Protein backbone atom coordinates (compact mmCIF):
# COMPACT_ATOMS: atom_id res chain seq x y z
CA UNK A 1 0.00 0.00 0.00
CA UNK A 2 1.16 3.47 -0.82
CA UNK A 3 1.27 6.11 1.87
CA UNK A 4 -1.73 8.25 1.06
CA UNK A 5 -4.45 5.79 2.01
CA UNK A 6 -3.00 3.47 4.61
CA UNK A 7 -4.49 5.30 7.61
CA UNK A 8 -7.86 5.91 5.97
CA UNK A 9 -10.63 3.99 7.73
CA UNK A 10 -13.29 2.00 5.96
CA UNK A 11 -16.05 4.29 7.24
CA UNK A 12 -14.33 7.25 5.61
CA UNK A 13 -14.90 5.84 2.12
CA UNK A 14 -17.87 7.68 0.67
CA UNK A 15 -20.50 6.42 -1.73
CA UNK A 16 -18.67 8.32 -4.44
CA UNK A 17 -15.56 6.21 -3.90
CA UNK A 18 -14.56 2.61 -4.21
CA UNK A 19 -11.55 0.53 -3.33
CA UNK A 20 -9.53 -1.11 -6.06
CA UNK A 21 -7.60 -4.15 -4.89
CA UNK A 22 -4.74 -5.36 -7.07
CA UNK A 23 -3.26 -8.79 -6.39
CA UNK A 24 0.51 -8.85 -6.60
CA UNK A 25 0.54 -12.61 -7.02
CA UNK A 26 -1.56 -12.87 -10.18
CA UNK A 27 -2.41 -9.32 -11.26
CA UNK A 28 -6.14 -9.66 -10.67
CA UNK A 29 -7.95 -6.40 -9.95
CA UNK A 30 -11.21 -6.22 -8.08
CA UNK A 31 -13.44 -3.25 -7.31
CA UNK A 32 -14.74 -3.22 -3.74
CA UNK A 33 -17.60 -0.96 -2.75
CA UNK A 34 -17.92 -0.22 0.97
CA UNK A 35 -21.45 -1.70 0.93
CA UNK A 36 -20.00 -5.00 -0.30
CA UNK A 37 -17.62 -5.39 2.63
CA UNK A 38 -18.92 -8.09 5.02
CA UNK A 39 -20.43 -6.81 8.24
CA UNK A 40 -17.87 -8.77 10.27
CA UNK A 41 -15.19 -6.35 9.07
CA UNK A 42 -15.01 -3.34 11.39
CA UNK A 43 -15.74 -0.01 9.72
CA UNK A 44 -12.95 1.37 11.90
CA UNK A 45 -10.33 -0.79 10.25
CA UNK A 46 -7.61 1.08 8.44
CA UNK A 47 -7.05 0.23 4.80
CA UNK A 48 -3.52 -0.98 5.49
CA UNK A 49 -4.95 -3.63 7.82
CA UNK A 50 -7.94 -4.38 5.62
CA UNK A 51 -5.83 -5.22 2.59
CA UNK A 52 -3.88 -7.79 4.60
CA UNK A 53 -7.16 -9.66 5.16
CA UNK A 54 -8.19 -9.75 1.53
CA UNK A 55 -8.11 -13.05 -0.31
CA UNK A 56 -7.76 -12.95 -4.07
CA UNK A 57 -10.76 -14.44 -5.85
CA UNK A 58 -8.61 -15.64 -8.73
CA UNK A 59 -5.50 -17.17 -7.12
CA UNK A 60 -6.70 -17.55 -3.51
CA UNK A 61 -3.68 -15.89 -1.92
CA UNK A 62 -4.29 -13.79 1.16
CA UNK A 63 -2.48 -10.59 2.02
CA UNK A 64 -0.99 -10.04 -1.42
CA UNK A 65 -3.34 -7.28 -2.53
CA UNK A 66 -2.71 -3.56 -2.61
CA UNK A 67 -5.64 -1.17 -2.19
CA UNK A 68 -6.10 2.22 -3.71
CA UNK A 69 -9.11 4.54 -3.43
CA UNK A 70 -10.79 5.57 -6.68
CA UNK A 71 -13.65 7.89 -7.53
CA UNK A 72 -16.78 6.15 -8.77
CA UNK A 73 -17.59 7.36 -12.26
CA UNK A 74 -21.06 8.38 -13.34
ZN1 LIG B 1 -4.37 -13.23 -7.16
Contacts of 17 (CB under 8 A, 6+ apart): 34, 69, 70, 71, 72
**What's the 19 CA to ligand 1 centre distance in angstroms?**
16
Q: What DSSP character marks residue 9?
A: B
- The residues placing their C-beta within 5 Å of ligand 1, an ion, are 23, 25-26, 28, 56, 58-59
The answer for 53, left when phi > 0, alpha when psi is -120 to 50, beta otherwise, is alpha
Cβ contact 20:5 at 8 Å = no
Over residues 51-72, the pLDDT tens digits come to 999 999 999 999 999 999 999 9
**What's the 64 CA to ligand 1 centre distance in angstroms?**
7
Output the pLDDT for position 4: 78
Over residues 7-56, the pLDDT tens digits come to 999 999 998 999 999 999 999 999 999 989 999 999 999 999 999 999 99
Amino acid sequence: MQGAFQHVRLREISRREMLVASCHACGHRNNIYPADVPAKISREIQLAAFEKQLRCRRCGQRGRASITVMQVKG
